[in-house]
Amino acid sequence: MIPKALLVSSFCLALTFNTVLAMEKDGLRVEVVPKTLSDGSAPVSSFHETSSVDQDMSLKAAFKNISMKDAPEGTIDYVVVVRRWAGESDKLSVYRGTQKLEAMRFGEEISVDIGHYHLSGHMHGSSDRHKDQLAGWKITVTQGDKKIEFSTPPTFAALEKAAKPAR
């Protein structure tokens, strides 16, 4: 069995380096990675002390039917929490939405962009201390009468409760 501390630190590395985070539950496998949709950030310059950040992001999610039968059409409800840099403190913003999930045959994989969110702030050289960051996400897949929930980090419920709706 993998120690909980190792799982949490692995998750933090996954978010930091934008690697794929995969989970399996009830015949469904989901792989999630942050995806940059547009980047209007200022280029890093040695002439300026800071560089502004302006990125539109989403979660690229790949859903694979690993059950032994076809899965019906359904919906994906998502919640994305972003840690906002605000002065020398941070605040949490939440983005919510719903998208359609197509029916999947056994072994089929479908990729969708979900959970659109915005990152801003600024960088001091390569330090991202004053840049907004993805704090966590929850995906609930509903197919017929079956609901499957995926979330990360383990403290996601507390993050969601503390977050204010994004503008």
Judged against a pLDDT cut of 50, whether residue 108 lies above it is answered with yes
**Residue 19: pLDDT over 50:** yes
Q: What are the tokens at 13?
A: 């590395």
Alpha-carbon span 43 to 55, nearest angstrom: 12
**76 with 141: CB under 8 angstroms?**
yes
Q: What is the mean pLDDT of the chain?
A: 82
Q: Are strands 51-65 and 28-39 parallel, antiparallel or unpaired?
A: antiparallel
In this prediction, residue 135 carries a pLDDT of 93
Domains (range + CATH), the chain: 4-165 (2.60.40)
| Over residues 155-159, mean pLDDT | 94
6 or 70, greater pLDDT: 70
Query: Which tens digit of pLDDT belongs to each residue from 35-71?
Result: 988 777 666 655 566 777 778 899 999 999 999 999 9
133-143 sheet: strands from edge to edge: 146-152, 133-143, 74-86, 89-101, 164-165
Global confidence as pTM: 0.79
